[in-house]
Structure 1
Amino acid sequence: MNTLRQAYFCVLDNYYSGPVMDPKELLQSAFAAYTQNLMRRGADRRHLQLPALSGNRDTDWAAVAKVLGDGDPAALRAAITGMVAGLHDDHARWVRPDPSQGEPIGTGITGVSAEYGPQLDPAARPPLFITRVLPGSPAAKAGIRPGDIVVKANGVPAFIGDAVNQSLVQAITAPGTVRLTLKRPATGRTRTVELKEGPITRQPPAVTSKKLADGAIYVQLPGFYEGAADQVIAKLRDKPKVVVLDLRGNGGGSPREVTRLLGAFAHGKVTSYFCPLKGECVPNRTDDSVPLLGARLIVLTDRGCASACEDFSAAVKDNGLGTLIGTRTAGAVSGPSQAYLLDDGSAVLLPKVRHLGPAREIIDTIGVPVDHYAPMTALDLATGRDPGVVKALALL
């Protein structure tokens, strides 16, 4: 119970809009998740009702705590998850220590076409296809490749009309056993695979590059992790005329890496703003200690480009630093999170400021639009064709 109490007051004290939040709404989200967990387990209590709340954070907590008593442990965990989820903030979440030991297990399917950022893509359309498979994983050993179309999972169709089946997507990427009916787009061959979880190896993120035509270089950056900007800059030491920077599937990372990498393409530019609840927004600026490359910049984005990746993409677009190709980004960039440790070793991650683009526009929930639409299809993945790179070369 004390962990739920800590999480409740932590949100009110530290979340971006916590000081002006209505504590009644926060407790309602927690209480609803608590009772729903009990109902799913057949453990509902007939006298369990949300008490009358006044809007005073202290007396309202005392009233709810009195009703819950010692609390059901599983339902209390659900209450914290539900309370944080009730903020409807893509950078707010509750994380718990992973008690598992040893090497990770899974099927090795780490991406499907209906995903964007940390959620399902509302713009997803049939077919559903696999986008990423870990080398050496059970999926790779079963001959499953990027581009394979998922016709069914456990006998359930991937789409109902034009709506993707969310539980099916979770069944494909989660640990466990799943029966997949797959279609190879290049040949039309259909087969059924019984895929079981097994050991998987996740390689640390790394920057890769290759030369393209007309003095261009292609660089793929999987995330804005510590040192990522310098790794990209090292790939560009020969001063290419054009840089095709692939940020597709880049889930974000450090804002500092964003401003440092942008400093290789422009100086003296505002890249974004961090805005407190009250007071002036603080501008973030290019790192002008980085030498300018003098190269033309083309950025490839998709619905998997989230958080710091969108920060970078918006800075490129708004400041006229380059061209964006692919699809609109995820729209998951509410603000950078800070971790607050709770008494059970878990932590609440909460944004203390709000992110705005260089033109002070809201990008969160909306995303950054591209200049040239070039989505990746199942056939493209299956045959090795990259429509983003093709479009980039056509623009040279």
Structure 2
Amino acid sequence: MTPRSRIFATFCAALVFLRAPASAGQADFNDVGKCMAIALQNGHFARQPFSRLSSRFLENYLKALDPGKLFFTRQDIDRFEQSYGESLDDLLLKGECMTAASDISRTFGLRVAARVEEAGRLLAAPPFDFTQDESIPASRKDATWPRDESQAMILWRQQVKEALLAEILRREAAVPGQESATGEKSPGEKLAARYRRVLADVEADSAPAKVASTFLSSVAQAFDPHTDYMNTRDVELFNEDMRNEINGIGVGIRADPNGATLIRSVVRNGPADRQGSLQPGDRVIAIDPDGEGPRESLDILFMGSDRVAELIRGSAGTPVTLSVEPATGAPGAATISILRGQVPVEESLASAQLIRVKGDSGERKLGLITLPSFYRDFEKSRTACSLDVEKLLLRLKGEAIDGLLIDLRGNGGGSLTEVERMTGFFTRPSPVVQVKDGYGKIAVLESTADDPLYGGPLVVLTDRGSASASEIFAAALQDDNRAVIVGEAATFGKGTVQVIKDLGSSMPFFTARSGAGALRLTVQKFYRPSGLSTQNRGVIPDIVLPGPGDGRERGESDLDFALGPDRIALAPAFHPLDRNRLFIPELARKSAARVAASRDFTYLLEDAQRLKQFIATNRVSLNLERRREEIGANAATAKERDEERRVRFAGMAAADGEHLSIDSFTLADLAGGAALRQAAPEPLPEKDLLSGPALPWPGGLDPQKREAIAVLGDLIDATGRAI
């Protein structure tokens, strides 16, 4: 097998799960753990000694169960370390790991039950005193375990007090009359119900399969953040995501402060939209995932959105029944039954815009392609982002565009095959990425297109959410000096390659293997054509812009046990273009002047600084008046910004009306021969500390996109002068 075909097969394996041969009976998770341990020991890229990782396995499992260090005590931890701290590796390889996993899980359930019982007692007693000068850590990630149950209950009392204070403040900020319309219970009653839901979730997670899933994931993730155990449902969802194919009812959901799950949106032409009863704003309070099947309706109050989504999604053609409080405020809950089906995912496919900019020298046409992921269906070979981008690019070329912007913000990656082909749209035959395996062997993948599909000025927009395949694409174009990269300080920094290993097929032939799941295993690292690794460091843009992600810990380097960066030699036969053709110093100077003059970028910098200070301080006050003052100060700042933006946005909209025209088109529009249509405004992003303004971005262009368009205009001008 050639290096090229070997890498192609590797990435196919990473995207397609091959089902294990049928075998009667549920797999014994002791056997699954042994099989996974052998695969980790023999196949992980880093070749870490398995025998030295036992304490890390334990640390990860405890963190997965109790990340805030509120339930276990130091006494518990000492017992776990004495019993399992140096033996989990042996227990895994001997096929005896579930005894330890179940013991720790059982202890966790007892501690949660005790905390919930105490919460009920506290909330039924006279109210807390919120006049004291008291505070607690905002995050207990780096805190120590409470010494014993006595100290744990003191910490727990503070947590309950803070949760009750937050509920009181939330209600003070609610729209007048909303509470009576929704029939909310008192803050204490609502909080008690929430804690009961926590206990119910923990009890549900004590089932053997759930315990095994959490424990085996903790073991796998001790090797690196992207190595993971996947249960059978995880695998199904993974394959659906890669195919851009979702089986459900077609709704967007989010947690409602009252405990219900709010229907945020209904996907057009999806199963719920066709059924017609469910509307945005409705609140789901219970779900029967089997429709009229054997399971009763499950109360989902204060259930996490991920768990709710799991109940809603399912095989096409199967029913799901929802108990819904209508958004109209009508009394009682309606029962709505919907047949699941394939949900249209147009918003997750590539799309494009044609931007006409009028200036003194005439009209300039700019193309914008937005790519949410590098998707590909390896099974049917009908869905591939490179095919979609090619169609959009040809349509834009038909409009004689002067420059192109590719928006990869939030693009978490996908298929390397698609990256390889897409890079060829913009370059001559050239190295795209180098891949090294655990034995040190290096293969180079190249774009093979004879001639680029588009050879004009090119800008790529990234952010901290651009990861993996997105980083390969951006880095290849940056190393080749083919495009100007614009965006937040760095991309995510995922420079590793995973394959999906079916554990059931690796188990002994006569062993029960149903539900064994799979192992997502890191087997390679990728490197830029220049030899640099994007691992941890990401891709550093040529022109850095302030972004909503500034101030947050949300990159690869912030994850536990992330592999480190390194570098290898320059790819053979790599001859980049002349970097002077990109005019980076000139473009950066002009961009910096615009950013410095932008109020919106100034707001982002202020928010980032405030967030950094909050994280560094790591304290939350339990004094009611002080919290009111903090909320009031934030509200005043948000109001001041809204008022300033209202005036400024009106002026920007008027100027856009004279000088800017934006038309959008999707793949469906191309297939149906639809004409270009005016772009819809984009919503403003949510803020962490300050409420976002109520106005849409002028022209539907957020600050980063607007600035990237300006950089593209500068590149076109500079390129024109150089000809």
What is the TM-score when the length of structure 1 is the normalising length?
0.68
Aligned to 1:120: none
What is the deviation of 1:95? 1.4
What does the per-residue CA deviation read over 1:173-198, in whole Å, with 9 as the maximum and x for residues that have no partner? 7748xxxxxxxxxxxxxxxxx9x9x9
Q: Does the aligned pair in 2 maintain the 1:244–1:298 contact within 8 Å?
A: yes
* Contact 2:232–2:516, Cα closer than 8 Å, also in 1: yes
TM-aligned CA distance change 1:334 to 1:37, over 3 Å: closer
Q: From the superposition, tell whether residues 312 and 134 of structure 1 become closer, same or farther in structure 2 (CA, over 3 Å).
A: farther
- Please, which of 428, 445, 448 is the counterpart of residue 284 of structure 1? 445
Bigger fraction of residues in strand: 1
| Corresponding residue of 1:394 | 710
Give the distance between the partners of 1:8 and 1:348, measured in 2 at CA. 10
Measured after TM superposition, the shift of residue 87 of structure 1 is 1.7
1:230 and 2:387 are equivalent in the alignment = yes
Checking the alignment, whether the CA contact within 8 Å between 1:273 and 1:284 is kept in structure 2 is yes
Deviation at 1:298, TM superposition (A): 0.9
8 Å CA contact retained: 1:247, 1:299: yes
Q: Distance in 2 between matches of 1:13 and 1:51?
A: 23
Gaps of 5+ in 2: 1-29, 106-207, 238-245, 256-263, 283-302, 310-328, 357-363, 377-383, 505-514, 549-683, 686-692, 714-723
Cα deviations across residues 54-103 of structure 1 (Å, max 9, x unaligned)? Answer: 99x779833965974998734433221111121233x3222112299972
- 1:258 corresponds, among 406, 415, 419, to 419
What do residues 305-348 of structure 1 show as CA deviations (whole Å, max 9, x unaligned)? 11101111111212111112221454242322111112334111
- 1:382 pairs with 2:543: no
* Residues 235-291 of structure 1: CA deviation (Å, up to 9, x unaligned): 122263311111111111111111111111112322221112233421221232464
Map of 1:207 onto structure 2: 350
User: Which structure has the highest helix share of the two?
Assistant: 2
- C-alpha contact (below 8 Å) 1:333/1:355 kept by paired residues: no
Distance 1:50 1:109 in 2: 41
User: How well do the aligned residues superpose, as a CA RMSD in angstroms?
Assistant: 4.3
The one-letter code sitting in structure 2 at the alignment partner of 1:253 is G
Cα displacement (A) at 1:31: 3.8
Which residue among 207, 213, 229 is the counterpart of 1:94? 229
Larger gyration radius, structure 1 or structure 2: 2
User: Does the C-alpha gap of structure 1 residues 175 and 51 become closer, same or farther in structure 2, counting only changes over 3 Å?
Assistant: closer
Match of 1:103 in 2: 248
1:142 to 278, 281, 300: 281
1:217 and 1:244 in contact (8 A); partners too: yes
Which residue of 9, 29, 35 maps to 1:6? 35
TM-score, with length taken from structure 2: 0.39
Structure 1 pair 202–7 and aligned structure 2 pair: CA distance change class (3 A) = farther
Which residue does the alignment assign to 1:307? 468
Q: What's the secondary structure of 2:449's corresponding residue? A: coil
Q: How does 1:22-61 map to 2 (within 5 A)?
A: 22-33=49-60, 49-50=82-83, 61=93
Q: Does 1:62 align with 2:94?
A: yes
Q: Is it true that 1:333 corresponds to 2:494 in the alignment? A: yes
Q: CA deviation at 1:34?
A: 5.3
Q: How many Å apart are 1:25 and its aligned residue?
A: 3.5
Structure-1 separation of matches of 2:101 and 2:539? 47
Count of residues in Structure 1 that have an aligned counterpart in Structure 2: 327
Q: Cα offset for 1:299?
A: 0.9
Q: 1:324 to 1:171 in 2, by over 3 A?
A: farther
Change (3 A) 1:34 1:266: closer
